[in-house]
Amino acid sequence: MSVKIALAGNPNSGKTTLFNALTGSNQFVGNWPGVTVEKKEGKLKGHKDVVIMDLPGIYSLSPYTLEEVVARNYLIGERPDAIINIVDGTNIERNLYLSTQIMELGIPVVMAINMMDILAKTGDKIHLDKLKEKLGCDVVEISALKGTGIKAAAEQAVKLANQKSAGAPVHEFSTKAESVIEQVEGKLSGIVSDDQKRFFAIKLLEKDDKIQTQMKQTVDVSSEIKELEDAFDDDTESIITNERYVYISSIIGECVTKAKKGEKLTT
């Protein structure tokens, strides 16, 4: 049986560079069914039984662009054995918006922080152990362009894929939001597997009708939506987005040290 590893990240994060470096000429290019979004897959160099699936570059797992729908349908429907989430280390705050959603899927994740060659020149530091703890996933530094760290990232993904278990998702939203998410998760017992509950609960609270349609059974979360909207005096989609930004700010505050302005760069 072959192992499936998905490559997910923002546009311009270096995904194509990494995909090419990991697969070489061993690639198949086509289209995702029914849409003109390019589908690329390839065998991991040196591993006949490991397939890398290059997902379209996206900023979020919301249903607003074709690329997002293709990527999330694959992640939810096909459930790869592991995900390599490539993150542009020079733009980490923005990239983490997608990462926080990827961590909710219940699939093992290796976060590959790319562009480390550029970051090294700026003097900014990303504290990997802290990041790992705050996100609940493995984190490695890479330069897709120079090829550094990419073998270790891929091998870690293969290892996690074979273990078949994702780390528990980190619950870092506000107490109120977490308590409402937990109530919705309670309604999903027997409908989605335990490790996917957080993703589905959040999407239902966001009134994501494509996810509601995709679920075999309709789940009424109107009372939880009302509870959250009354508590925050806002709509649930904005509430969840805001919760993510607050969580990301706390990650950046604890895990990234910026080089002091005016400090001489070491090149």
The footprint of ligand BGO (CB under 6 A) covers 9, 11-17, 57, 114-115, 117-118, 143-145
Quote the least distance from Cβ 227 to ligand BGO, whole Å: 39
Q: Are strands 3-9 and 50-54 parallel, antiparallel or unpaired?
A: parallel
Q: 57 or 169: whose CB is closer to ligand BGO?
A: 57
C-alpha span between 195 and 267 (Å, rounded): 44
Record the tokens describing residue 167, joined without a space. 């780390």
> What's the maximum distance between 2 C-alpha atoms anywhere in the chain?
59
Phi (first) and psi of residue 195, to 5 degrees: -75, -10
Can you tell me the distance from the alpha carbon of 123 to that of 197, in angstroms, rounded to the nearest whole number?
A: 39
- In the complex with ligand BGO, the residue whose CB is nearer, 119 or 248, is 119
Q: Which is nearer to ligand BGO, 15 or 134 (CB)?
A: 15
Smaller CB separation from ligand BGO, 15 or 198: 15
- Least Å distance between CB 157 and ligand BGO? 17
For residue 98, the minimal CB distance to ligand BGO (Å) is: 12
Q: How far is CA 251 from CA 42, 94, 131, 166, in A?
A: 33, 12, 7, 20
Q: Which amino acid is at 180?
A: V
Inter-residue contact 265 to 121 (CB < 8 Å): yes
Q: CB within 8 A of 226, min separation 6: which ones?
A: none
Sign of the Cα torsion 84, 208, 243, 245 reads positive
Residues 6+ apart with CB under 8 A from 102: 8, 61, 75, 83, 85, 109
Give me the least distance between CB of 222 and ligand BGO, in Å please: 39
Rounded Cα distance between 216 and 212, Å, is 8
Output the smallest distance, CB 95 to ligand BGO, in A. 10
Q: How far is the CB of 20 from ligand BGO (least distance, A)?
A: 8
Residue 16 vs 174, nearer CB to ligand BGO: 16
Lookup: tokens for 155: 């091998």
Instruction: Kindly tell me which of 13 and 196 has the beta carbon lying closer to ligand BGO.
Output: 13
User: Which CB atom, from 150 or from 255, has the smaller least distance to ligand BGO?
Assistant: 150
Residue 230 beta carbon to ligand BGO: minimum distance, rounded to whole angstroms: 41
